[in-house]
Amino acid sequence: MLDRYARTKNHYLSDYSNTFMTFAWYGHLKFKDFSWGKNNGGPFTLVQLKTIQEAIPLTVFMIFTLLFFKTEKLGWNHLAGFGVILLAVCVIFKNGS
CA 54/CA 48 separation, integer angstroms: 10
CB of 88 closer than 8 Å to CB of 51: yes
* pLDDT at residue 32, rounded to an integer: 63
One domain for residues 17 and 3: yes
User: Within this chain, do residues 74 and 94 fall inside the same structural domain, yes or no?
Assistant: yes
Tell me, yes or no, whether 18 and 61 share the same domain: no
Residue 60 sits in the same domain as residue 19: no
Q: Same structural domain for residues 31 and 45?
A: no
Q: Report the C-alpha gap between 55 and 91 in whole angstroms.
A: 13
Query: Do 45 and 31 fall into the same domain?
Result: no
pLDDT tens by residue, the chain, 97 residues: 557 666 677 777 777 887 787 777 777 667 666 544 555 556 778 788 888 888 888 888 888 888 888 888 888 998 899 899 889 999 998 876 5
**Do 30 and 45 share a domain, yes or no?**
no
d(CA 20, CA 13): 11
Residue spans of alpha helices (H) in 1-97: 4-30, 46-68, 76-93
Do 50 and 97 sit in the same domain of this protein?
Answer: yes
The number of distinct structural domains making up the chain is 2
Q: Are residues 50 and 10 in the same domain?
A: no
SS3 state of residue 23 = helix
What is this structure's pTM? 0.56
> Which pLDDT belongs to residue 69?
85
What is the residue range of 52's domain? 41-97
